[in-house]
Amino acid sequence: MDGTKTCPYCGKLANADAQFCQGCGRSISSPPQYTEQPPQQYQQPQNNQQPPQQYNQPPQGDWQQPAPAYGAPAYGAPAQPYAQSYGGAKGQIAGAIQNRGMTDDIMSGIWILWPVLAIVLGVIIMAALFIVIGWIGLIIGLVITLVLYSILNYKLLKRMDEHRKREMALRMAIISYLKEKGAETQKAQLIANEISALESINQEAMYKEKERTPVLWTFLSLFPIINYVVMYFLAEFPFDHDKRWHAFTQYTQAACQKLGINIMTPSWSTIKERSNVLLLILTLLFGIVVFIWYYFIIKDLNDHFTAQWQFEDQLMAQLR
C-alpha cells in the first residue's frame, strides 16, 4: 500500500516516512537484523522441582522420632525421675511407695458417726422437699439419704481396692529387684528358696484378694441385707491381707541379708483376728453394734498401713 509501511515488531501501520512506530515506539526506519519475539510472561517449566527450602528438615505434622533401641536413651528425652535411673525394678519400687499417699487413706475413727449424720441430714432434706413439692419430695429425699449413707462404704471400698493394687505392684517389683540383684551378684541360687516363697505368696494374694469395684459394691450396699455382706468382706480383708504381707516382708528381709542388703522389718504383730460372723449376728440383733463394727473396719486397715509404711521406708533407705 503506497504511503504506508508496517511495523515489523507489532504489525501496526505507519506513514512511509515515519522513523518510529507509534504503537510500540521501536525504530522502523530500517528493517531489523533479527526477528524479535514480543516479551511473554515467564512460565514455570513442567516437572521442575524446587530446591528444598530447609535442608534436611524433618517432615512436619504428626512426625515423631523413632523409638531408640532397647536400653538406649532417647535423644532429647526428659530426665528420669528419682530411682528409675538405677533400673526398672528399683524405679517400680520407688513409684509404688510414692503412690501410697494417694491410695492408703488413713481414716479417722470419727467416720463411724457418718451413718447417723447421713440419716439426720436426709430427714432434714426430706422434710424440706415435702414442704416444697409434696410426696415426691419424700421419695427424692429418701434417695438422697441413701446416697449420703453410702459415702462411708464407698471410701472403705475404694481405699481397700487401691491399696490392694498398689501392694500387688510393690510385691512384683520387689521380686524383680531381688532377681536382678541375685543375677548381678552371682547369688541367684543362694536366694532361690526365698524367691520361690515370695512368688508363692504373691500368687496366693492375687488369687484370694478379689477386685471389688467400689462404685458397683457401693450401689449394692444401698440394699440393707447386701450392706451387711459388704461390711463382712471389708472386715475380713485386713486380717488375711496383713498376714500375707507380714510373711512377704520376712522372706524379703532374708533374701536381702544374703545379698548384703540390711533391711530391718518392723517388730509388729499381725492384726488381731476377730469373729466377724459374731459381729454380723450382733449387728442384726442390736443395730447399735454397727458402729463398733465400722470402727474395727477402719482401725484394722489403718494399722496395716502404718506398719507397712515402716517397712517401705526401711526398703527405700537401702535403695538410695
For helices 88-98 and 135-184, what crossing angle results, to 10°?
A: 150
Q: What are the C-alpha distances in Å from 255 to residues 179, 181, 198, 246, 259?
A: 10, 10, 10, 15, 6
Mention every residue, 6+ apart, whose C-beta is less than 8 A from residue 237: 160, 209, 301
**Element (DSSP H or E) covering residue 5:** strand 4-6
**Which parts of 12-57 are beta strand (E)?**
13-15
- Measured in whole angstroms, the distance separating CA 311 from the mean position of its chain's CA atoms is 25
φ/ψ bin of 151: left (φ > 0), alpha (ψ from -120 to 50), beta (otherwise): alpha
Q: Give which of 52, 137, 23, 82 is closest to 319, Cα–Cα.
A: 82
The pLDDT value recorded for residue 97 is: 94
Longest dimension (CA), the chain: 137
- The amino acid at 40: Q
For the chain, 320 residues long, give each residue's pLDDT as a single digit of tens.
456 777 776 766 777 766 666 666 566 665 444 444 444 443 443 444 443 333 333 333 443 433 333 233 332 333 333 333 345 888 999 999 999 999 999 999 999 999 899 989 999 999 998 888 888 988 898 889 888 989 999 999 999 999 999 999 999 999 999 999 999 999 999 999 999 999 999 999 999 998 889 999 999 998 888 999 999 999 999 999 999 999 999 999 999 999 998 887 766 667 888 899 999 999 999 989 999 999 999 999 999 999 999 999 999 988 76
DSSP 160: H
The pLDDT value recorded for residue 7 is: 75
* Phi and psi torsions of 41, nearest 5°: -70, 140
